[in-house]
Amino acid sequence: MKLIKSIVRPHKVDDVRDALEKLNIAGMTVTDVRGHGRQKGHTAVYRGKEYSVSLLPKVEIEVVVPDAVAEDVIEAIMAAARTGEIGDGRVFVIPVEQSYNIRTGERDV
């Protein structure tokens, strides 16, 4: 299995979720994060002093999928999340050794 970890723009979450649903991916975990790649942050002004705020709000979406569907999932996420501007985000693929269903105790692999 693969853990597919995507960092995307917050307003793209629904699009990504729709795309995953179409591929029958049931489970996903969504976290509010802050981060940046090469995207510049913004300047905040507080009491006359300027501050660089370079950590931008993003959303992290994690799904764990069988190896066979990993590539389709990656393409779907990328297509749904892309705007073409710097700051679109990234997708990372991490190998997963094992996965368990807490309710039933079953192993996935």
Partner 1 sequence: MSSAVNAADTAWMLVATALVLLMTPALAFFYGGLVRSKNALNTMMMSFVSLGFVVVFWALIGYSLAFSTGGAWVGDLSRIFLRGVGLEAQGTIPHVLFMAYQGTFAIITAALISGAIVERMRFSVYVLFITLWALLVYSPVAHWVWGGGWLAKWGALDFAGGTVVHVNAAVAALAAAIVVGKRQDYPSASLLPHSVPLTLLGAGLLWFGWFGFNAGSALAASPIAGLAFVTTMLAPAATLFVWTFLDALRSRKPTAVGAATAIVVGLVAITPAAGFISPMSALALGAIAAVPSYLGLMIRVKTSLDDSLDVVAAHGVGGTVGALLTGLFAQKSWNGVADGALFGNPRQLLIQATAVGAVAVYSGVVSFVLLKVISLVAPLRANADDESTGLDVTLHGEEAYLHEG
Partner 2 sequence: MKLIKSIVRPNKVDDIREALEKLNVAGMTVTDVRGHGRQKGHTAVYRGKEYSVSLIPKVEIDVVVPNDLAEAVVTAIVESARTGEIGDGRVFVFPAEQGYNIRTGERDI
Q: Which range in 18-26, 42-50, 80-88, 99-107 contacts partner 2 by CB under 8 A?
A: 80-88
State both tokens at 91.
């997708």
> Which CB atom, from 48 or from 84, has the smaller least distance to partner 1?
48
Region of 59 (left: φ > 0; alpha: ψ -120 to 50; beta: rest) is beta
Choose among partner 1, partner 2, none what residue 82 binds, the Cβ cut-off being 5 to 8 Å by kind. Answer: partner 2
Binding site for partner 1 (CB under 8 A): 43-52
CB-side neighbour CA atoms (13 Å) of 48: 0
Task: Give the chain's end-to-end CA distance (angstroms, integer).
Answer: 8
Residue ranges that bind partner 2, judged by CB under 8 A: 2, 5-8, 31-38, 54-55, 58, 60, 74, 77-78, 81-95
